[in-house]
Structure 1
Amino acid sequence: MQKLRLVFAGTPAAAVPSLETLAAGGHDVVAAVTRPAAPLGRRRVLTPSPVASAAERLGIHVIEAARLGDDATGRIGALRPDLGVIVAYGGLVREPLLSTPAHGWINLHFSLLPAWRGAAPVQHALIAGDAETGASVFRLVPELDAGGVYGTRIHAIRPGDTAGSLLAELAGSGAELLAEVVDAIAAGTATATPQSGDPTLAPKLGIDDARLDWTRPAGEVLARFRGVTPEPGAWTTIDDQRLKVHELAAAADAPDAAPLAPGEIVASGRIVLIGTGTTPLDLRRVQPAGRTAMAAGDWWRGAGRTRAVAR
């Protein structure tokens, strides 16, 4: 098997398992390309990306680039890579960079392509109520997420999964798949199969997408909550004040609870119930504006309410 010179491009924590797996393999990761350090937290501390931090720890050369333009293309080309590998970098690879590595570029994408092409595949799969998702490694082409697929991993979606927990699992299994595809490319045995079926799109979600609509059926509300947790973060308003929703579940402990109007909040024993377009849900953990996250029961008792309506 040929030893390949790899350039890795990625930014968030979900890309780190792939970088670590490739670095531990039999190939040479000559650089990690990542988005520049960004201000984080209330104090806006300039913080390197998770991939940058992992690369430094692994002794891999870091190239920070806000976009893969002429400067990044020149710096990557100077490394004479055999293969480019991208995992959630946060930008597009265009020509001439697309053709710079001898074997082109491959992408680990967290969906079963052609389902959920785009920036937020895991989130959209959960919001849509899909029963399964997975990871795909495909060949990059100019069209978004449309290249031939080298391999997939199928993953069942469990009732308690959120975008955060599901992405963490896919990042691990996807890293193993990615390493297998890189080895196959090095050995000359890799085959990319054209995508078949109608594609669905998964654009990036904004804060407005994370607002919970209590007039919708309980299953839809819960699906959206799971899809936007932890980012951008589910929320609602009470008396025009934003309330973040950190934990929400089916009200299994209150099967005989009286029906509630959409958004109506009441205490039922030890739990706090919130109405939807069908059955109530169990509001478990919230964060009022300007305060830390807390158990919904503590928030409710501290507010001194008997009823409220979220909108």
Structure 2
Amino acid sequence: MNNKLKIVFAGTPEFAVPTFNLLNKSSHEVVCVLTQPDRRSGRGMKINPSPVKRAAQQCALYILQPESLDHNVMENLKDLNADILIVAAYGLIIPKSILHIFPKGCFNVHASLLPRWRGAAPIHRAIESGDPKIGVTIMQVVEKLDAGPMAKKVSMDLLEKYTTGDMTEAMALMGAKLMMEVIDVIASGNSINWIEQNESDVTYAKKIRKDEGILNLNEDPSILIKRIKAFNPYPGVKGLFRGKGLKVWNAVLIDNFDILKNLQPGDLKVIEKRLILRLDRGGIELMEMQVEGEKKIEAKDFIFRYKINQGDRIN
């Protein structure tokens, strides 16, 4: 028989929402939601709540949004007498003083097959590196970043067509279900077979910088394609077209190099409603793009709207 657990949930972005939703709909009780403070975002740079805060507000739950996890936050959490802390992409390192509050432990859903890709951007880095598989791991939260012993993992093939946007949604749903399996084991009083991470296999997923999205015409085409997939939707791979910013949302490798003859790196060429971009070491076919201030469109519509001619370039 499962015992009802009192849960504190810590999460911020859209990735964390499916885990929050499953917890909130379960037989357990979410007594508090920890999430990042409201931030400026979007075109108008308006102050917006996190996706997790929006979800928690719909359920009228107690919400804490500290800038840091200081002594006052610790005392607030102590007063809740919660059993367990569940973390999903919260965004702050949780100190030992808070980890010790929860008698049933603290558990994190992380979007990688640990110990590969500890850190802030595991899905981006897996796609950028061309990993054959991707997955999620449920682990204990310890003070060291994403280094705790693991309870469960699940993986899937990382096909070349997948973007970070695709995989974030898929990993969020997989992670939510996996976390519920772990919580049910804990609630039933059964033990978990913890597996320590092998430190010799650790890689780190550095936070994505906006300048990583600058279009590099000298890059190997296959590497550029991986970056386009990895940085879709954020920060995007961007160049300049007719003096305006252009974001490349999707592209594929070309298999006919004859079409690149007489082109210089950066040149655009239209071939039967296909849009080809010449690179220094080959070329790619652009599939979807977005001119700054306008909507994302497919290549055939881009060709028609902008009347692509000889001499048009992306820099």
Q: TM-score range by the shorter chain?
A: over 0.9
- Structure-2 residue corresponding to 1:170: 171
Given the alignment, which residue of 290, 305, 308 partners 2:309?
305
- Structure-2 residue corresponding to 1:295: 298
Residue 247, structure 1, aligned to residue 250, structure 2: yes
- Structure-2 residue corresponding to 1:121: 122
**Residues 120-139 of structure 1: CA distance to partner in whole angstroms, max 9, x if unpaired?**
00000000010101000111
- Structure-1 residue corresponding to 2:95: 94
Give, as a single letter, the amino acid of the residue that structure 2 aligns with 1:84: L
Unaligned runs of 5+ in 1: none
- Structure-2 residue corresponding to 1:31: 32
**Residues 213-267 of structure 1: CA distance to partner in whole angstroms, max 9, x if unpaired?**
2322221111011111101122123466431112222346x67533554333211
Given the alignment, which residue of 195, 198, 208 partners 2:197?
195
**Residues 143-174 of structure 1: CA distance to partner in whole angstroms, max 9, x if unpaired?**
11111001001111112100011110010011
TM-score w.r.t. length of structure 1: 0.92
* 8 Å Cα contact 2:257/2:282 also seen in 1: no
SS in 1 for 2:246: strand
* 8 Å Cα contact 1:215/1:263 also seen in 2: no
**Corresponding pairs, count:** 310
Give, as a single letter, the amino acid of the residue that structure 2 aligns with 1:8: F
Give, as a single letter, the amino acid of the residue that structure 2 aligns with 1:292: K
Give, as a single letter, the amino acid of the residue that structure 2 aligns with 1:169: A
The alpha-carbon distance between structure 1 residues 277 and 104, as it changes in their structure 2 partners (threshold 3 A), is: farther
Unaligned runs of 5+ in 2: none
- Structure-2 residue corresponding to 1:147: 148
**Residues 255-302 of structure 1: CA distance to partner in whole angstroms, max 9, x if unpaired?**
753355433321112011012344421112222233333334444452
Give, as a single letter, the amino acid of the residue that structure 1 aligns with 2:269: V
Q: CA RMSD in A?
A: 2.0
After the TM superposition, list the runs of 4 or more consecutive aligned residues in structure 1 that deviate by more than 6 angstroms.
Answer: none
In 1, Cα distance between the equivalents of 2:243 and 2:98? 48
In 1, Cα distance between the equivalents of 2:108 and 2:206? 17
* 8 Å Cα contact 1:212/1:225 also seen in 2: no
**Residues 37-71 of structure 1: CA distance to partner in whole angstroms, max 9, x if unpaired?**
22333333332211111112234322222332233
In 2, Cα distance between the equivalents of 1:124 and 1:247? 17
Given the alignment, which residue of 271, 274, 277 partners 1:274?
277
- Structure-2 residue corresponding to 1:22: 23
In 2, Cα distance between the equivalents of 1:255 and 1:172? 41
In 2, Cα distance between the equivalents of 1:90 and 1:309? 40
Residue 48, structure 1, aligned to residue 52, structure 2: no
Instruction: Give, in angstroms, the shift of residue 182 of structure 1.
Output: 1.3
TM-score w.r.t. length of structure 2: 0.91
Alignment of 1:211-226 (within 5 A): 211-226=214-229
- Structure-1 residue corresponding to 2:104: 103
In 2, Cα distance between the equivalents of 1:84 and 1:174? 16
In 2, Cα distance between the equivalents of 1:198 and 1:183? 30
